[in-house]
Amino acid sequence: MENKLSQLIKQVQRLPEDCLDDVIDYINGKIEDSAEGKPAPPCPHCKDEGVTKFGFKHGKQRYRCKGCGKTFLATTNTAMYNSRFGEAVWRQVVRDTVDGIPIDETAEAIGASHTTAFLMRHKVLLSLEAEECRKPTVLDGVCELDDTYVLESLKGTGIPEDYWRKARKHGAKAKKRGVSSEYIAISTGLERDGQAYSKSVTRATPGKDDVIAVFGNHIGQEALILCDGAKSYAALGETGECPVMNVCADGSKAGKGFYNINTSNSFHGFIKDRYIGYKGVATKYLNRYNALFSKAFRCSDDLADEIYNMLSSSDSQRFHSVVDVKALNLLEI
């Protein structure tokens, strides 16, 4: 997508110094005009609509509620609360997150440091993960379930001295052949023509308990499950709520026509492409990215706008602090 912010920054950098004051005055005037033209939002604390303007805070319009007397900004309780950046920057961060753009490129585009761009991206990812918890994805109809694997990564933290393995370089392979404890399993499920879901809970091959932990609350009663013959997925059919059909290696099922899990394979390819583009994802953050992968696969052109609208909604607490980004919902396996 076209990055208007980077274009604006490049044009401003080319201006002579005596023009900068005029540009700053013009932009500040536009910000004030924009604040004047927008209706006051309801109070995020008591939902009262009796709200008056109450000056500015960090260049943003502040409001005061007549009911509870509390002051707030339009971004209070949203993911953008306490951010010095405005809508245009946050929309760019969301677009880059959806498109799989590396963090350093996003940082350059919005004129911020790597750390700032990292924190903004993870606030988006945390909100996506929290939204999945609030409104769990339920797979129905003909569904394909399978696992894909990525190497464990301690990217950004380094290898402790007493760790069970030595550090690897980017692009290095596992020492052991096949699926081993060096790999983190990403369990994926998706409807043939609909939504997708992915989550990681274990190393190596998932067992029955792991399958239940991932998909137990995400399979509809009318679902027909296709998988690649892994015995662990039989656990989903033991309750009798949904049939589980193991697909043979050649995609056939004797006496019952032809089946395959090619759609699941395409989802795995999408995940691996993103993973390579990121040059790996720290394992502790993997489920945050799984929430993104699930949304971004087969995404519509409106997905970035949908995510931004979700982030800017104050109907529930969506704000995450820097402490949350570093410590909340980390994958520890």
User: What digits encode the pLDDT tens for the residues 243-258?
Assistant: 777 765 444 454 444 5
Domain ranges of the chain: 137-301
In the block, residue with structure tokens 């706008």? 305
* Topology (CATH) of 137-301: Nucleotidyltransferase; domain 5 (3.30.420)
Proportion of the chain above pLDDT 90, given as a percent: 43
Q: What is the pTM of this model?
A: 0.83
Euclidean distance between CA atoms 258 and 248, whole angstroms: 10
Residue 254 pLDDT = 41
- Core vs surface per residue 28-58: b (16+ CB within 10 A) or e: eeeeeeeeeeeeebbbbbeeeeebeeeeeee
262: number of Cβ within 10 Å: 11
Residue 166 pLDDT = 82
